[in-house]
Structure 1
Amino acid sequence: MPAEFLKIHPQTPEPRKIQQVINILRDGGIVIYPTDTVYAMGCDIHNARAVERLARIKGIKPQKNDFSFICFDLSHIADYARVSNNAFKLMKRLLPGPFTFVLEASNRVPKVLANRKTVGIRIPDHPITRQIVYELDHPIITTSIKDEDDFMEYPTDPEIIFERFQHQVDIVIDGGFGGLIPSTVIDATNDDFEVIREGAGEFTI
């Protein structure tokens, strides 16, 4: 059965449609959604089968993944990662925004991901994504969608994304065209704050 293609207003997401996405996530579904950078796919962080399914779509083992967690705000972060005072101040200044912070994982990271020593944390500045996480009341696993095209690394058109993934995921959200540049990744496991990947976010200490 092909995925549903669901158009959601990018600035004022319709509550009924957001609830539809929440229901799919709670049932173990995989969702494709826009962020403040590129389109991504994800699932409920607490659903082990969904995480394993997401890993299969990416062609990797769950324990070897590079998935990040999307949180609604900073209040969720301490549940899954150890954050120094300096890192917290930096995150407070830059988030929500196009950044991924790599932090030392806490022992509350779900068991399916328990072998990981670090975890990436995202708080995208995008109403659809944040409303989904807010209504779900806990983070979702996220991974960027990459294109096999050498010309364009990240697909931007939700209709093209739907054509490619309609038989692998449960719902594709059309929140308008996505971006071409992924998030800036910052290693915040210590207070040196090294940029691992240059991306959409401009980083200065």
Structure 2
Amino acid sequence: MLRDEVNKALEVIQQGGIILYPTDTIWGIGCDATNTEAIKKIYQLKQRDEAKSMLILVDTENKLESYIREVPAIAYELIEYAENPMTLVMPGAKNISPALISADGSVGIRVTSHPFCQQLIQRLRKPLVSTSANISGQPSPQNFAQVSEEIKTGVDYVVNLEQDNRSAKKPSTIMRLEPDGRFEFLRR
């Protein structure tokens, strides 16, 4: 089941499509983080201002250096000891679509622990865009049942996993991290 869903999602993403999928936090909308056209589709679907960047998921912390010029040493400790999923916003983004990079050169990046996401990213060999599965300004859905029809029908593929799970999930903690190790919480 998991392998089949990874294969289906991978095919859609490789063709420039966008997917609705479960993550280690809330349901997300995603695509290949190097495909600017696919990223623009997500902005259109969410009716989101392109100045508001979206985060990327990687499957292991070893991949951080592929997408961030200078990863502060503390980043690895924060990821290792975080009790909840942690998104780190760091400057020096590279090797991803410019549409994901903030005006200050930063990008939010999270090492996912979700088996579907990990396998999909391994197969894609690129980071996965992840943004909450809602129209901009509306509440983030805590489970699949709360995802609007507009989002479900607006994506190219809905991953058929965990759709019956009604437990309430929360978005990740977001922390801005500077190369010198200074940090601030943007969302707890």
User: TM-score per shorter chain, which class?
Assistant: 0.7 to 0.9
In structure 1, C-alpha distance between the alignment counterparts of 2:95 and 2:135, rounded to whole Å: 33
In structure 1, C-alpha distance between the alignment counterparts of 2:34 and 2:108, rounded to whole Å: 16
1:86 aligns with 2:71: no
Alpha-carbon deviations, 1:115-142, whole Å to 9, x = none?
5411101122211121211111110111
Q: Is the 8 A contact 2:121 2:127 kept in 1?
A: yes
Identical-residue share of aligned pairs (%): 24
Could you tell me how far 1:114 is from its partner in structure 2?
4.9
Could you tell me how far 1:61 is from its partner in structure 2?
4.5
In angstroms, what is the RMSD of aligned CA positions? Answer: 2.5
Alpha-carbon deviations, 1:130-174, whole Å to 9, x = none?
121111111011101247898xx3324425526332331011123
Could you tell me how far 1:180 is from its partner in structure 2?
3.5
In structure 2, C-alpha distance between the alignment counterparts of 1:197 and 1:159, rounded to whole Å: 24
Q: Which residue of 1 aligns with 2:129?
A: 141
Task: Give secondary structure in 1 for the equivalent of 2:31.
Answer: strand
Q: 1:51 to 1:90 in 2, by over 3 A?
A: same
In structure 2, C-alpha distance between the alignment counterparts of 1:18 and 1:36, rounded to whole Å: 16
Alpha-carbon deviations, 1:58-109, whole Å to 9, x = none?
22354x13200100011221121131122233234439x5111111133433
Q: Which residue of 2 aligns with 1:73?
A: 60
In structure 2, C-alpha distance between the alignment counterparts of 1:139 and 1:123, rounded to whole Å: 10
Structure 1 runs (4+) greater than 4 angstroms displaced: 147-150
> Equivalences for 1:118-197 in 2 at 5 Å?
118-146=106-134, 153-161=139-147, 163-173=149-159, 174-175=161-162, 176-177=165-166, 179-189=168-178, 190-197=180-187
In structure 1, C-alpha distance between the alignment counterparts of 2:24 and 2:96, rounded to whole Å: 25
In structure 2, C-alpha distance between the alignment counterparts of 1:113 and 1:154, rounded to whole Å: 20
Number of residue pairs aligned between Structure 1 and Structure 2: 182
Q: Which residue of 2 aligns with 1:203?
A: none
Q: Is the 8 A contact 1:158 1:172 kept in 2?
A: no
Q: Is the 8 A contact 2:145 2:166 kept in 1?
A: no
Q: TM-score, normalised by structure 2?
A: 0.83
Q: TM-score, normalised by structure 1?
A: 0.77
Q: Any stretches of 5+ residues in structure 1 without a counterpart? A: 1-12, 199-205
Q: Any stretches of 5+ residues in structure 2 without a counterpart? A: none
In structure 2, C-alpha distance between the alignment counterparts of 1:147 and 1:56, rounded to whole Å: 9
Task: Give secondary structure in 2 for the equivalent of 1:100.
Answer: strand
Task: Give secondary structure in 1 for the equivalent of 2:42.
Answer: helix
Q: Is the 8 A contact 2:53 2:100 kept in 1?
A: no
**Which of the numbers 29, 33, 49 marks the counterpart of 2:37?**
49
Q: Is the 8 A contact 2:6 2:119 kept in 1?
A: yes
